[in-house]
């Protein structure tokens, strides 16, 4: 094979490799055409975004549709801001970030996401309404049946002289 044909082949091959690499990179990103992100980093990888969403859902003990609305086609429209809960979640994220910045010396990771000590689960503990603690009848008659029962007597003190 003449030398310039060899070079042409090599150039062709590397063009194919480059092209397919670029196409697969595009495929990674195109489920995120117009993200409607106002508090999370806009360049957040899809995997990390999904993890954050799972964390929020778990922290509040809810499903995705607690914050996300369905579109007219009946499918989840994650970019939509139709549900007030979604915006509340943004406020909560900003609140937690502020507390962490001010009182936990705001450590941030390489994406600019706050990794402070206050998280959704710190308050929410698996409920959208943190002050409704499961098993506690807050605000009810503490002396009524089932509530405010006397604590069991303390165990007898161990015999002295051990
Ligand atoms: C507590 C509320 C809440 C829950 C629960 C929640 N999300 Fe989100 N989600 C948000 C908020 C707020 C944003 C926008 C963040 C921003 O503005 O930076 C968002 C953004 C998203 C986006 C990006 C949408 C876009 O703009 O392109 C996707 C995708 C998404 N959520 C998926 C999920 C999935 C899947 C679940 C369930 C596992 C879930 N979310 C649960 C509040 C929530
Ligand atoms: C410092 C405590 C605290 C932290 C941290 C916190 N929240 Fe909240 N959140 C609350 C309280 C209190 C309410 C009001 C609950 C109620 O109305 O009963 C609330 C309400 C909400 C609501 C509205 C619930 C509804 O029924 O409409 C959403 C959504 C929410 N929080 C999401 C989040 C997310 C997401 C995070 C983490 C990014 C977070 N919260 C972190 C205390 C907190």
User: How close are the terminal C-alpha atoms of the chain, in Å?
Assistant: 96
pLDDT confidence of residue 81:
97
Tens digits of residue pLDDT in 7-31:
565 555 555 554 444 444 444 444 4
Q: Is the CB of 56 under 6 A from ligand 2?
A: yes
* Distance from C-alpha of 3 to C-alpha of 132, rounded to nearest angstrom: 78
From ligand 1's centre to the CA of 107, what distance in Å?
23
> How far out from the chain centre does Cα 15 lie?
40
Q: Which pLDDT value is given to residue 148?
A: 40
Tell the residue nearest (CA) to atom 32 of ligand 2.
89
Cα(36) to centroid(ligand 1), Å: 9
Name the closest ligand to CA 67.
Answer: 1
CA-nearest residue for atom 36, ligand 1, is: 64
pLDDT tens column, 98-135: 988 888 876 778 888 766 689 999 999 999 998 876 66
Nearest alpha carbon to residue 133 among 143, 141, 125? 125
Mean pLDDT for all residues in the chain: 77
CB 86 within 8 A of CB 65: no
């Amino acid at each position: 094979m003449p030398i310039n044909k060899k070079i042409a082949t090599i150039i062709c091959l590397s063009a194919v490799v480059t092209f397919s690499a670029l196409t697969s990179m595009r495929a990674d990103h195109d489920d995120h055409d117009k993200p409607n992100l106002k508090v999370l980093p806009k360049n957040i990888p899809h995997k990390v975004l999904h993890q954050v969403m799972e964390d929020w859902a778990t922290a509040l003990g809810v499903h995705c549709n607690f914050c996300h609305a369905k579109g007219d086609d009946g499918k989840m429209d994650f970019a939509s801001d139709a549900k007030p809960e979604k915006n509340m979640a943004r406020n909560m994220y900003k609140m937690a970030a502020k507390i962490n910045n001010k009182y936990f010396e705001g450590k941030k990771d390489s994406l600019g996401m706050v990794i402070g000590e206050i998280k959704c689960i710190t308050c929410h503990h698996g409920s959208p309404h943190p002050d409704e603690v499961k098993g506690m009848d807050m605000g009810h008659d503490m002396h009524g049946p089932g509530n405010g029962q006397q604590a069991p007597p303390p165990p007898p003190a161990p015999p002295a002289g051990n």
